[in-house]
Structure 1
């Protein structure tokens, strides 16, 4: 494996994430970036806790993180990767979903889980980026999707 493709462990914390993307509680769904390879991939972390508002109704007796929020966590991880790749010039810009394809939900994500969100850039053309995302708890694949997004001025 070349140095260029080597995994780069990083520690981008929540404070830095909030400088990079505009999301805030309760929709900010990435707590930390654990790995980052510019223009290629990133791994985000979401610590799932029972105090999150969606668990009040989804579902009261068996709290499950909604699949749409797992896909949103993938998109936020991808947005952070884009901003980190492009540098300061991209901070404050918005990254909008364009497509979500091949979404599959394999195992419920529940309070107490540490969700590792793996995103890989598959293609880029101008401001449009395409990704493959996987959400893992330990070694278990919980969800996956392919999606595209466009970076735009605010």
Structure 2
């Protein structure tokens, strides 16, 4: 039995570009009718910072599937650094770029340095995350 790794119905990326071996980019339109935004925060709805991290995670998993094959997944195992610097509100578009390199823990880990911006160029977040590769067929 395969366990679901992600909460539904969170779609944290609308588009993903996985062409580069060492980089992934993605975007997400922040919409007021997304069900997970209700109440975060009352009278000033913002896209939660943890969802920016999930946007990076979904982009990394798409990158891994493209470059390693559909049998591979990526699980977040460490948050080394994260800084949120500007809010994302309904009507904004999150743009992110992540550089992916082998992790210090070995060939089954990926070090991801990501930055996220709004469409107006304001940086929203910067983070360093480590993912462990998983061979689902093993």
| TM-score, reference length from structure 1 | 0.76
SS of residue matched to 1:149: strand
Are 2:80 and 2:127, in contact at CA under 8 Å, matched by a contact in 1? yes
Aligned to 1:135: 116
Instruction: Say which of 86, 111, 125 aligns to 1:107.
Output: 86
Contact kept in structure 1, 2:18 and 2:66, CA below 8 Å? no
Equivalent residues in 2 for 1:3-14 (5 A)? none
**How many residues of Structure 1 are paired with residues of Structure 2 in the alignment?**
129
User: Which piece of structure 1 moves more, 120-129 or 95-104?
Assistant: 120-129
* Distance in structure 2 (CA, Å) of the matches to 1:24 and 1:45: 19
Once residues 96 and 65 of structure 1 are traced to their aligned partners in structure 2, the CA distance between those partners, rounded to angstroms, is: 22
Q: 2:33 aligns with which of 51, 54, 79?
A: 51
Q: Report 1:1-154 matches (<5 A).
A: 25-34=8-17, 36-38=19-21, 40-86=22-68, 90-124=69-103, 125-138=106-119, 139-154=121-136
Q: Counterparts of 1:56 and 1:92 in 2: how far apart (Å)? A: 35
| Structure 1: 5+ residue stretches without partners | 1-21
SS at 1:65 equivalent: coil
More helix, by proportion: 1
How much has 1:123 moved relative to structure 2? 2.7
Q: State the SS of the aligned residue for 2:19.
A: strand
Tell me how far 1:140 sits from its aligned partner.
Answer: 1.3
What is the CA-CA distance between 1:24 and the residue it aligns to? Answer: 7.4
